[in-house]
Amino acid sequence: MGIGAAAGVAAAGGVALTAQASGDTSASSSSASGSLVFDPDAYTELTTTVTDTEGTDHEVTYHFWKAITYVAKPVDAAYQSLNVSVPVTIDGTAVDASDAPILFANSVGGYMPSSVANATGIGGGGTGGGMVGGTPSGAPSSSASAAATAPGANGDTNATGGALSTNQLLALAAGYVVVEPGARGRTLKNSAGEYYGVAPAAIVDLKAAVRYVRANKGRIPGNTDRIVSAGTSAGGALSSLLGASGDSPLYDEYLEEIGAADASDAIFATGAWCPITDLEHADGAYEWNWGSNAAGSGSKVDRTVSKELRAQFAEYQASLKLEGLNGFGTLNARNYDEYLVKQYLEPSATTYLAALPDSERATYLAANTFITWKNGRASFSWADFLTHVGARKKTAPAFDAFDLSTGENNLFGKGTTVSRHFTAYSLKNDTTGLTSKRPDSDIPELLRLMNPMCFLVEKANPNRTKHWWIRLGAKDSDTSHTVSANLAAAAHTLGDDVSHLYYWDQGHGANTDAGDFIEWIAKVTGHRTRTRK
């Protein structure tokens, strides 16, 4: 679907990007001297070609502000900076973006650091984390080093922010303002060997970036009351958390420490693709979902561990008391498979198959006989769906590994300690020689700061976003399907507007309806692109 009807401009869904500078004004950091005042004149004018969802090219000229430090006391400005892109003409027609929605698109993957310092334009040259045990992206400060010994993310990688480069180009061609924030990540280490991007650094940075944008209302073009976040994988988790925790005082101390602007960090809407979140319960959720599937690469899964973790999930799910969408009733470990099949998976398969030409549909159904196709609808069992997906991506536990080997273990590192356990179960079963009986005393608060569910279920945050766009690939076994479904159910239970669906036969980081996302932004914000006369 195109975005023309909703946004007033043709849809933009491609990733073609050919930008060249046409101005003589260079971008600069507005806060090089500690100021948090955005300089409206410090932009470069660029032109890019964007291919829309219908295959049509559109020429967009935009103003580009590069690597603006968004805090007064940065720990590492190479990561604590943002880019701003504002369209000025689309296909030769001047547009007025002064009141346009602001797409706030982070490129975090694997809870790794993300920098915009090397960007050459919107979606071009900026780098997100996500390499397993790799080098932090961007241009770190002289005191930073790549933590080569930091754990990977147990297969949870998303090196470029996945869906987001398409979303950013789409948004620009629709006449929206695009803000691309960098953020610290778990592998950053200073000369003293201290990890300075572990939890909760990434969410604190993104909140600080939102505060910078809102504090510069009237200087940064766009409607600062209509900020829509977007992120994929760990970036999707952070996007969800940003929306759920708006203006929570729990982060004030951290924000003051880095000199964040004195402004709101609440956002209007959240876009989250395959969010890797609710980490303290993620191991149990993963085993409930994928416990019967053999692991890939010849890895073996301890069935006793899997069974014990599934029991943990059952207890946790019952405690949530969440109601499924469309009047399904209370979700629990016994009925969640039915819920996923009826609410998400069969509709996903139906949409996919209905869009195929008759001959291609017949070929697909012949190769996937577990699907019953009747009266234009697909049906199948949960067990057959699991067989269709095949090998699971991760071993057990998937997130808090007994040997402290995952990226999530590194996320909860502290000081010079590269990794820590964040669940009592994994600490009890530790294989590295630890003798502690319970996680460190600061872990519970860090988990709260990193989990959007805490702001939706424990006590509803009144300043949360009220609009949610959540997507997941049906074959994504980087996380449990219940994670995004619980997030959607929690928001729905509170009366929020929720758009949540799964992409059939797609894996981690998929984004097959980017044009629809741009239309959704126009719908929920009430925006119509304005042209200049």
Domain boundary among 352, 373, 406: 406
Among the residue ranges 9-23, 135-149, 344-358, the one predicted with the least confidence is 9-23
209 and 248 co-located in one domain: yes
In a domain, 326, yes or no: yes
Residue 448 has pLDDT above 70, yes or no: yes
pLDDT score of 107 more than 60: yes
The confidence score (pLDDT) of residue 532 equals 75
**CA 235 and chain centroid, separation:** 3
CATH number of the structural domain spanning residue 141: 3.40.50.1820
Q: Of 48-62, 337-351, 411-425, where does mean pLDDT reach its minimum?
A: 48-62
The reported pLDDT for the residue numbered 52 is: 84
Q: Average pLDDT in the 503-520 region? A: 96
264 and 308 together in one domain: no
pLDDT score of 12:
36
| Crossing angle (nearest 10°) for helices 282-290 and 303-320 | 110
pLDDT of residue 374: 98
In a domain, 86, yes or no: no
Instruction: Using a cut of 0.85, tell me whether the model's pTM lies above it.
Output: yes
What integer pLDDT is reported at residue 144 of this predicted model?
A: 53
pLDDT band at 296 (very low <50, low <70, confident <90, very high): confident
Q: What integer is the mean pLDDT of 483-492?
A: 98
HEC string of 464-498? Answer: CCCEEEEEEECCCCCCCHHHHHHHHHHHHHCCCEE
Average pLDDT (167-186) is 96
Mean pLDDT of the chain: 88
Q: What is the SS3 assignment for 207?
A: helix
Judge if 330 and 466 occupy the same domain: no
Residue 531: the pLDDT is: 73
Q: Tell me, what DSSP letter sits at residue 151?
A: -
Average pLDDT over residues 69-80: 97
Residues 121 and 269 in one domain: yes
Percent of the chain with pLDDT over 70: 86
pLDDT at 134 over 80: no
pLDDT value of position 116: 95
Q: What is the pLDDT of residue 236?
A: 97
Does residue 304 sit in the same domain as residue 341? yes
Residue 424 falls inside a structural domain: no
Residue 33: pLDDT above 60? no
pLDDT attached to residue 6: 32
The pLDDT of residue 459: 86
Tell me the average pLDDT across 132-149: 41
457 and 378 fall within a common domain: no
| Spatial distance between the Cα atoms of 93 and 60, rounded to a whole number of angstroms | 9
Tokens of 267: 């956002």
> Would residue 123 count as lying in a domain?
yes
Regarding whether 130 and 9 lie in a shared domain, the answer is: yes
Q: In whole angstroms, what is the distance from residue 243 CA to residue 31 CA?
A: 26
Q: What is the pLDDT of residue 2?
A: 37
Domain ranges, residue 505: 4-41+101-280+448-531
Does residue 459 sit in the same domain as residue 491? yes
Q: Percent of the chain at pLDDT above 90?
A: 81
DSSP string, 117-143: TT--BTTBS-B----TT-PPPS---TT
Q: What's the whole-number mean pLDDT along residues 451-466?
A: 95
